[in-house]
Amino acid sequence: MRSWLAPLAIISLLAGCAQPHPSSYVGGAGARSGDAVSLGNNASGETCNQLPGEAADTVAVFCGSWEQPAARIRTMSGAATPMQIATAGPWRDTIDLPFICDAPAATSILGDMPAALMNCRRRIGGWPQVALVASSSNRLYQADGILPTLDVMERAIGVLSGRINAPSATLPQSAADRLIASQLAAHAFSAGDVGEYQRLMSFGARANLAEDFAAAETAYRAALALQQKVLGRNDPDTVTPLMHLALQVSDQGRFAEADALFRQADALAPRASDKAAVARLYHYRALNMLNQGHDEQALSLLAQAERAYTSLLPPEAMQPTPASARVQLASSGDLPPLPSERLMTDPTAQSALLGLI
């Protein structure tokens, strides 16, 4: 039977549509040199450059061949300490939506600039991240990026604060570097790896939509292998490409192999960073049952998936729009507003809503 497109894959495709052309970036790829500030190489040896961010008080760092920011830094005024900012408040709330972070550790960067550092991982994908807050002269620098960009973020903050003029120069090892060294040793990967993973997942989604399940299988198998290389074969966060792969195998009628892959996913999903992983696994196992003609088992699993997806959504997202409001919107030609602002920022809620639909 026809396979239903994975919710995460839809998000990946939509995100890809929003990206500018690669020539707009200056990481390893590119052009707009008038706006770019060279930041030297990250811990993976990729060339990194800083460009203005979407908001006036932000910058984005692009590294290697990845066409999305590897790190972002926001500058703002404030007298709060880095530890206060990193422990609780709007910035920490924003960080906690896409990432799972350890408790912040007090440290310093650029010699004596007070800072707070957090080891994090992405909720969707599990890629290691770092989040950093630093302060100097009543200015706060709030940064997050993939693990290999820590030293690059430090250089970017040095440029933004006026502390250094040659960001590509080698900086003395900071306390933050020492805190993160073991993590860098354990997870050797590059911005290009993250970009390739996303490319493979998007290609798998497109092949799935075209019902080319063999090509989708190849893409998801490669994405899984890449993620396992960084995180480890039994890391719970590898469950996403694993269950995508299992469904493509099922769509080709290789049910014994698909069942074995789903059993592997069963052991990983409850421990995954992605809170929607269990719901999605119910969903995909149901499609596997439908492929095999086991309709009653499929319906039971779909009911479990519906309940699990719903539990991850803000309650207001489940409320219907009043009929009068629908008529008014239709007559004016306006699109209805999203029922919850959280759906604009929370990737877990977005994934759950698409899965529920």
pTM of the model: 0.80
pLDDT of the residue at 55:
80
For residue 328, CA distances in Å to 320, 336, 339, 341 come to 15, 10, 16, 21
Helix 277-291 to helix 347-356 angle, to the nearest 10 degrees?
Answer: 30
Q: What is the mean pLDDT of residues 128-141?
A: 93
Q: What is the mean pLDDT of residues 18-26?
A: 37
pLDDT of the residue at 127:
92
pLDDT of the residue at 124:
86
The tens digit of pLDDT for each residue in 274-289 reads 999 999 999 999 999 9
Q: How confident is the model at residue 100 (pLDDT cuts 50, 70, 90)?
A: very high
pLDDT of the residue at 62:
95
pLDDT of the residue at 245:
97
Q: What is the mean pLDDT of residues 340-354?
A: 82
For residue 98, CA distances in Å to 144, 197, 280 come to 11, 17, 18
- Residue 62 backbone dihedrals phi, psi, to 5 degrees: -110, 135
Is the separation of the CB atoms in 2 and 208 below 8 Å? no
Q: Which of 106-110, 167-171, 260-264, 273-277 has the lowest mean pLDDT?
A: 167-171
The tens digit of pLDDT for each residue in 295-341 reads 999 999 999 999 999 999 988 877 776 655 555 555 666 655 656 67
The tens digit of pLDDT for each residue in 229-267 reads 989 999 999 999 999 999 999 999 999 999 999 999 999
pLDDT of the residue at 17:
37
pLDDT at 171 over 80: no
Domains located in the chain, CATH noted: 25-186 (3.40.1000), 191-356 (1.25.40.10)
The tens digit of pLDDT for each residue in 184-230 reads 655 678 898 999 999 999 999 999 999 999 999 999 999 999 999 98
Q: How far apart are CA 124 and CA 128, in angstroms?
A: 11
- Residue 276 backbone dihedrals phi, psi, to 5 degrees: -90, 0
The per-residue pLDDT of the chain, averaged, comes to 84
The tens digit of pLDDT for each residue in 174-183 reads 666 666 666 6
